[in-house]
Amino acid sequence: MAAPEPLGLSRVLVLGLARSGSSAAMALAQAGCDVVGVDADATRDVGRLRQSGVEVHLGGEIELTAVDGVEVVVKSPGVPSSEPLVARARRVGVPVWSEVELGARLLPQPIVGVTGTNGKTTTCELIGAMMRAEGRPVEVAGNVGRPLTSLEPDERGDARIVCELSSFQLEDIDRFRARVAVLLNITPDHLDRHANVEEYTSAKLRIFENQSPTDVAVIPRFFGSIPGQGRRIEFDQSGELLAEPRLPGPHNRANAVAASHAAMAAGVADAAIAEGLSSFTGLPHRLETIRTAAGVRYVNDSKATNPEAAEQALRAFPQARVILGGSLKGSSFDRLASVARETDVRSAYVIGEAAEQIADALAREGVSNVLAGDLATALACATQDASDGEVVLLAPACASFDQFSDYEQRGDTFRALVERL
């Protein structure tokens, strides 16, 4: 396996020092670079970075001209492109990289990349399960789990890498190349960050732009043109599988077909692909059954952070009592309300910042709903209304930042509340 190219950088500015930014700053420091780390959060814990020699500036205590003396700005995915330091870098011709761009340059082995609006994490972990079934080490990294730049040299060996890629990571790649690149789907999302659907789509499709004719692009059937030169493989949920997946819902069958194509393209044996399909039971917060109490099944799909993901959950569990709502991302809830009617939702319990918008959309479709306000109240109401054999489903269709730190905290709270019933 070829060694990675030397970075050839002397001074780099890392913007955003949360998980991926901190990892990038540490990797650069270990590579011998002079690193400047910047974060708007004055309370960020940066002791380890300072001990490693990183020059840290917190709470906006840095001049815009700081970018003039660096060769690259590494931007964390949580930092918008409109941030003044980013704008200044582009204006003076300083390249702006995402953390995955840096990570890919530091790693010697090829990468299987997965993007899409929904299903990325499940598909990455399913590919990882198929690869592990062959007995080889696998790192599932990127937008899920570990940052690419956190993979230490002594961990790499012959490990395969599966990388989940968000639009925020892909919008700032340069030479990043996925030897196998998977696009699961594209529906409107993150319109609070991207100017429009076209910009969001363009960012997603960058996963293909550096592919050569020896690479593989796995895309939904009948999808339009894509950049790059990768060999095109199309999929849908009706595709043949070496074993039926254990995950519920037609969307997860489509994820399984895409994962199988990706694993085959990466050289995984059929027997290992079949074992991965038949053994993988899913991840927390993704159509996760918490328990059945008094005949009522409680399902946690807190990762359904946009309307399309919630629609898939409703199709997987028709006639559910569903908890919807959270913080707004610029999405419409009209189609979600239509799907709620089509899947015969018994009642919806709406919470958070988006509650009234969702309630209005549901009312227009004649779907019964309750303005519950918060998760605990919504669960209490749903439990009181539910009958033996019914499902209470948390599928918010929204981000979580109005009442929780992230979707995981929201799902953990739901689990704790259900376990106390």
Catalytic annotation, residues: 120, 143, 190
User: 200-207: which pairs have CB atoms within 8 A and are 24 or more residues apart?
Assistant: 200/167, 203/167, 203/168, 203/170, 203/171, 204/115, 204/116, 204/117, 204/167, 204/170, 206/170, 206/171, 206/173, 207/113, 207/115, 207/165, 207/170, 207/178, 207/181, 207/183
Using DSSP bridges, classify how beta strands 55-58 and 296-300 pair: parallel, antiparallel or unpaired.
Answer: unpaired
The neighbouring-strand residues paired with 34 are: 11
Give CA separation, 76 vs 56, 57, 100, 147, in Å.
15, 15, 9, 11
Q: Which amino acid is at 13?
A: L
* CA distance to 27, 104, 153, 176, 362, per residue, from 355 (Å): 43, 41, 48, 40, 11
Cβ–Cβ under 8 Å, residues 36 and 86: no
Name residue 37's beta-bridge partners. 14, 56
In terms of phi and psi (left: phi > 0; alpha: psi -120 to 50; beta: otherwise), the region of 87 is alpha
Helix axes 375-385, 407-419, angle to 10 degrees: 40
Backbone φ and ψ of 157, nearest 5°: 50, -125
Q: What are the tokens at 134? A: 């062959």
